[in-house]
Amino acid sequence: MSSVTLETGQREEELTVRRTFVLHRAEDVSGVSGTGVVAEGAMFSDGTAVVHWLGKHSSTTVWPSIDSMIAINGHGGRTQVVYDE
């Protein structure tokens, strides 16, 4: 992992994307997201997960971990993380 120098002169570790994924939803509990692939995401070297929700009401969210995101959006196992190869 490389580091970058901030404008303040401090060095900070650079985050890199480690894995990309999609969220696949078998059942739409809320009636908002639909089924099938409902989001695209990336997991960074420090475990941070960024999720971009697809569809009419798209948004992008940042989570401290993939586990945190699934705890809120997993809908009791109805949403699966499918990692790209």
Nearest to 36 by CA among 78, 73, 69, 72: 78
- Three-state SS letters, 17-69: EEEEEEEEECCCCCCCCCCEEEEEEEEECCCCEEEEECCCCCEEEEECCHHHH
Residue 83: predicted pLDDT: 95
Residue 1: predicted pLDDT: 46
Residue 3: predicted pLDDT: 52
φ/ψ bin of 77: left (φ > 0), alpha (ψ from -120 to 50), beta (otherwise) = left
Structure tokens that stand for 51 in this block? 């999720």
Mind listing the pLDDT tens digit for each residue in 4-57?
555 665 556 677 889 999 999 988 777 777 889 999 999 998 899 999 999 888
pTM metric for this prediction: 0.75
Residue 53: predicted pLDDT: 93
The single residue listed with the structure tokens 């699966």 is 80
Amino acid at 22: V
